[in-house]
Every structure is written in C-alpha cells, then in structure tokens.
Structure 1
Amino acid sequence: MKEHQGDLCSRYVKIFIVVSCYWIISIATVFVNKTLLSSDSVKLDAPLFITWFQCVVSFSICFMLSRIGGVPGIFNFPKGSPWSFKVVREVIPLSIMFTLMIATNNMCLKYVGVAFYYIGRSLTTVFNVVFSWILLRQTTSFRCVLCCACIIFGFYLGVDQENLLGSFSLVGTIYGVIGSLMLSLYSIFTKKVLPSVNQEVWLLSYYNNAYSIILFLPLIVMNGEIGVLWNYNNFDSIYFWMQMVMGGVCGFAIGYVTSLQIKVTSPLTHNISGTAKACAQTVLATQWYNESKNALWWTSNLIVLGSSALYARFKQIEMEENSRKPVPEEKRSLV
C-alpha cells in the first residue's frame, strides 16, 4: 500500500512539474515573441525574418539531436533526413501550412496585444468543425456545434469591446483568423502525413522547420523586409541576438513540452491546461502592460475559454462512447 501511494505521489509530482513547465514556457514564448515583434528595444519591423530565424534555431537543435540520437535518459530522437525526395514530396504540402501558420500567428501578435492574442486566434475550434465536415465528412454533435456558436459570439464580443477601448487592430485580427484557419488545416492534415514519418512527431517537426527555412525566403522578399534588414543598425548588438536565440529556443521548447504534457496526462487534460494557461496569460498580460479592460471584455474571454473547454470535454465523451460500441462482423477485418 505504501509503495502504491509512493508511486501515485511521484506520478502526481511528475504531472505537476510537466504542466508547470508547459505553462511557463508557453507564456514566456508569447511574451518573448511580442518583445521581438513590436518592442522599442528591438525596433526591427521584419516579423517574417524573426520567424524565419526561429525556424533556423529549431532546425539546428533538431539537427544536433538527430546526430546524437536525443538526450540520454530523457528522450530518443528518431533518425531521418529531410532531404530525401520521397520525404519532401509527402511532407512539403504540410510544411507550407506550417509556414503560413507560424507566419500569421506572429503577424497577429505583432499588431495585437498579448491580452487580446487568445481571442484573436480563438476560432481554431470552429474551423476544425467546418473542415472536418468538408474534408473528412465527419459530423459534429449539436452540443459541440452550440459550443462553436458560443465561441463565435465570444470572439465577436471581444472584437467589439477591443474596438470600444481603442486598441483594436483589424490587420492583427485578420492575421489571427487566418492563423486559426491554418492551424485547423495543419492539425487535420498532420494525421495524414504522420504515417509517412513512422508516426514520429519529432521527425515531422524537424522536417517542417527544415522546409520552412526555404519557404520563408520568398515571403520575406514579398513583405518588403530586405530593405528593412539592410538599414537595421542593431545587428552588432549582443542583446538583440540573445533575444533572437531565446525566441528560437522557446519555439523549440514549446513543441517538446506540449508533446510531453499530452504524454503524461491526456489530450483532454492538455486542452484544459491550455485553456487555463490562456486565462492566466491574459490576466498576466493586462497587469504587465498596465491595461485596463471593462467587464464585457472579460466576459468575452470567459465565454471563449468556457466554450472551448466544454467542446474539448464533449468531444472526449463522444470518443469514449464510440470506442465502446461493438464493431460489426463485416468491418472487423478492416479495423
């Protein structure tokens, strides 16, 4: 009995540490990126270049881990090369979505405040339902659709209140909606691409960052950032490069702690943890940047957060119910 209690206690401690790391790294990543993208200390109006550099850092870390096989005693990094023609052909469509997703996410963060960032990107769940029906022909229960309707209402209310407070950015909100759309597509198509990399999430991250380094180059040119980079005067600043490297490390770390949190808990717990983290992040941002928000603005956040958590719970219940249904005899050989 004592041994069982000891094992249970150690498991809870492990879960607490992992969830705490997820919260700290996730929130730190948002604040670091906000500093890089729009602070007076950096003053570099080249968000796509900053995002591209973060991909370079993530790719470099993945490349080193692939060479040494991972971190001994912590995790093994799968072997693989992103330069195989077969891999490029199968993964590059997903990498295009990945590139557009992280580009629009950072563009959104550049123009909106950290407090509004979650609301600006809150339509991912809605797009998941829409694209699951269009692409996969998967129907959604009425209660989940109702949660999506509440999310849309919360999003509208948040935009309306942000506009009344004078801090609304139409450009940033549009980028947030596009980022939500791309995240939804990326999530759906990831399931199709994972078998091509032996179900290895780390390998897929390695390949995505490798291809994104190339895919970002024409986007940087089209966004007019070459002239900005040419005239930038702080490339010799150690502080600037420390911030850039820190942003890249945070981008890599968030991928690891997200996978780790799902592994030691469950997808549902991860969703609930992410929702609670978003709430804490919003409160922290209003205090950090000394922003004053009215009651309706906070109500919009609560509606989106609560509806997202309920949606995740309802989907979990539906998955459990479906798993208990008997499989017809004629379909058993296919399962």
Structure 2
Amino acid sequence: MANLEKDEDAKAFLPPPVNSRQAPKSHPIHVIGAVVLFYFVISLSVVFLNKFILSTSEYKFPYPLFVTWFQLVVALIVLLVWSHLGKTNKSFALIPPYEFNLEIARKVAPLTFMYVMMLALNNLCLQYVEVTFYQVARSLSIVFNIIFTFTILGQSTSAPAIMACVIVFLGFAIGSYGEINFSWEGVLYGVGSSAFVALYGIYVKKTLSVVENNQWRLLHYNTTLSILFLAPLVFFSGELSDIAAYVYFLDEFPFWFLMTITGVSGFAVNIAMFLQIKYTSALTNTISGTAKACVQTVLAAMIFQNPISVMNATGILLALFGSGYYSWIRYKEMVSNDLV
C-alpha cells in the first residue's frame, strides 16, 4: 500500500494498483469531490474505529491480533456476498466471482505473509501510540521503500526523493523524542509495520502477474490466506485464552456490531480507492493521500485530546511534510517518464 496507495494508514484490504498509463480524467467536479470525500471518510474511519476498539472505548479490547483476524473474516464475507451478487447484478460486477486455486494460492502465499505482518503490526502500533503520533510511527515506510528498492530491485533513487526521506527520518526522530506518551512497543511495531508496507508494495507488483494483474482476484487470495495465516498467531499469542478468561462483554451486541462495522469499513477502503483511481488523476491521488494524513492528525488531536509537546508537533509536521514531498517527487518522476 512503493508508497502503499500513497496512503499508509488504513489500506488494510487493498493491494496497490499497477502503475499504468491513464486516460485523462474529465469527470464533473462534484463527482470528483464526492469520490475524494468518500475516500477520506472511509479511510479515516478505519484508523479511528480501530483505535477506539483497542484502547479508548468503554470496552478497551487490547487484542489487536484477534481484532485484525476478525476484521479479515468480515471482509471475506463481504467479498463473497459482493462477488456472488455480481453474477446477476451489474451494479456489483466490479468484483469478479470468488476463486481459490491451490496452485495460485501457493504463489501468492509469500506476499500474504507480508500482508499479515503489515496488518498485525499496524494494529499493534495503533494500540500503543496516540493517533496523533501514529503517522510518525508509520512514516518510515518511505525510507524502507528506498532501501528495499535498491537492495532487492537494484534501482537507484533520485536525490530529491532521498532528501524527502531524510526529512521524514528527522520527523520520526524528533517526534519520537518529543512524544509525551512515548511507547517503545508502539514505535517498534510502527517501524516493523513500515518495513512490511514497503516490502508488500514491492512484491505485490510481481505477484499480480499470477492473477493476470487483477487486484480483485489477488484480494480473494490475500484475504483468504491471511485468515488462515493469522489464526495460529492469534492462538499462540495467548489472546484467545485471555479473551475467554477475562472479557466479560462477549455476549454484548454493540461490541460485535462495532467490530463488524470496522471490518466492513476496512473492506470499503477497496471501493474508495478504486473509485478515486477511476474518477480522479494521479495528482489528485497524491494530494489526497497527503491531505488525509494531515486531517487525520488534526482530528486525532481534537477527538482524543492527546497532549502534544512542541518537539512532538515539530516531528509530526516534518514527517507529514516529508511524506507529502516524497509523494510529489514520485508523481513528477512518473510524469517525466510518461507513466501517468
């Protein structure tokens, strides 16, 4: 979710689209505005709902691996229903009929491992850090992207992009040092998640060829395999035994409704990103991803009223600026190479 979909926060269930030549967009402004707004609302909802479930709601359900697994199950159910409806209703024809071929699954499995680690570490990070600091904790995916692009693909990076990464790293260092509610666990999980975001973005391009470059077919395999891969982690982590022994609200409908809504929202990110790619330009996607990160930080400060020091605020601003600058540089490079 390569800069994962130009948005590294909540693209939990969507593989990045393949870079391809796009026809110029000429859609009405109100359609473009509605699409971008839909993306903002859905993408922000996933982050805030996850944080709400894990540490700030009346439930304070501190089991991020189980939360991730359950949301994947919800996403798979939605995927199955949607793809089935698409067989008879053209309105749902966006997603092809569900498939699961063992030979293809074997080839997708390495990517799914990265996908699972990305999702699990992401929610673990969100459990331990404030949402205002979340973007900083996850910002190093850009740095890892450059490192892995060079070490794995043997591709060099332009000087302006490297400068953007230096800014991001400075923001990460300053923001971490100035974070009032600092958590080593949260930072380490954020760094780990950033590494797997970068790896996932690189390897997904190779794996898409296995499913004929169809991101929705890849979603079938990724979601199904992720449920299978994550189940042992949930079991051996001790979360299931803790939930059975200490959680008293398992029979409460509001809790499961909240969990289900979050899973549906995670799946809806797929639709939001598809619509944004279809109805807007690459430049709009670049600006939208950066603007969403800024809005997310501001809303988090307002909603959760997290204490922010001057150094923490400086680090957040540097990380956001560096991320936005990097996205802009990558967009300009794509334009110069005639990829958009």
TM score, norm. by length of structure 1: 0.89
TM-superposed CA distance for 1:255, in Å, is 2.1
Structure 2 unaligned blocks of 5 or more? 1-24
Tell me which residue corresponds to 2:194.
Answer: 180
* Higher-helix-fraction structure: 1
Tell me which residue corresponds to 2:54.
Answer: 37
| Aligned pairs (5 A) from 1:212-291 | 212-231=226-245, 232-291=247-306
Q: Secondary structure at the match of 1:76?
A: coil
Tell me which residue corresponds to 1:304.
Answer: 319
Matched residues, percent identical? 38
Tell me how large the CA RMSD over aligned residues is: 1.8
The aligned amino acid for 1:212 is S
The aligned amino acid for 1:233 is Y
Q: Whole-Å Cα distance in 1 between the matches of residues 243 and 48 of structure 2? A: 23
Aligned 8 A contact 2:115 2:222 in 1: yes
Q: Secondary structure at the match of 2:289?
A: helix
> What do residues 273-304 of structure 1 show as CA deviations (whole Å, max 9, x unaligned)?
11111111111111112223233322222211
Tell me which residue corresponds to 1:134.
Answer: 151
Asked if residue 62 in structure 1 is aligned to residue 79 in structure 2, the reply is yes
Question: Greater RCO between the two (CA within 8 Å, min separation 6)?
Answer: 2
Q: Secondary structure at the match of 1:119?
A: helix
TM-superposed CA distance for 1:271, in Å, is 2.8
Q: Whole-Å Cα distance in 1 between the matches of residues 172 and 329 of structure 2? A: 20
TM-superposed CA distance for 1:218, in Å, is 1.1
Aligned length: 313
| Alignment partner of 2:123 out of 106, 113, 117 | 106
| Alignment partner of 1:208 out of 222, 234, 246 | 222
| Alignment partner of 1:152 out of 169, 190, 205 | 169
The aligned amino acid for 2:48 is F
The aligned amino acid for 1:186 is Y
Q: Secondary structure at the match of 2:37?
A: helix
TM-superposed CA distance for 1:74, in Å, is 6.0
TM-superposed CA distance for 1:40, in Å, is 4.7
Q: Whole-Å Cα distance in 1 between the matches of residues 282 and 149 of structure 2? A: 18
Asked if residue 76 in structure 1 is aligned to residue 94 in structure 2, the reply is yes
Q: Residues 44 and 92 of structure 1: is their aligned pair in 2 closer, same or farther, counting only changes over 3 Å? A: same
Aligned 8 A contact 1:151 1:308 in 2: yes
Tell me which residue corresponds to 1:330.
Answer: none
Q: Whole-Å Cα distance in 1 between the matches of residues 310 and 128 of structure 2? A: 23
TM score, norm. by length of structure 2: 0.88
TM-superposed CA distance for 1:263, in Å, is 2.2
TM-superposed CA distance for 1:272, in Å, is 2.0
Moved over 6 A (4+): none
Structure 1, 100-109 or 218-227: larger mean CA deviation:
218-227
TM-superposed CA distance for 1:315, in Å, is 1.8
Tell me which residue corresponds to 2:21.
Answer: none
Structure 1 unaligned blocks of 5 or more? 1-6, 325-335
Q: Secondary structure at the match of 1:30?
A: helix
Q: Residues 80 and 28 of structure 1: is their aligned pair in 2 closer, same or farther, counting only changes over 3 Å? A: closer
Tell me which residue corresponds to 1:328.
Answer: none
Aligned 8 A contact 2:42 2:265 in 1: yes
The aligned amino acid for 1:49 is F
Q: Whole-Å Cα distance in 1 between the matches of residues 45 and 265 of structure 2? A: 8
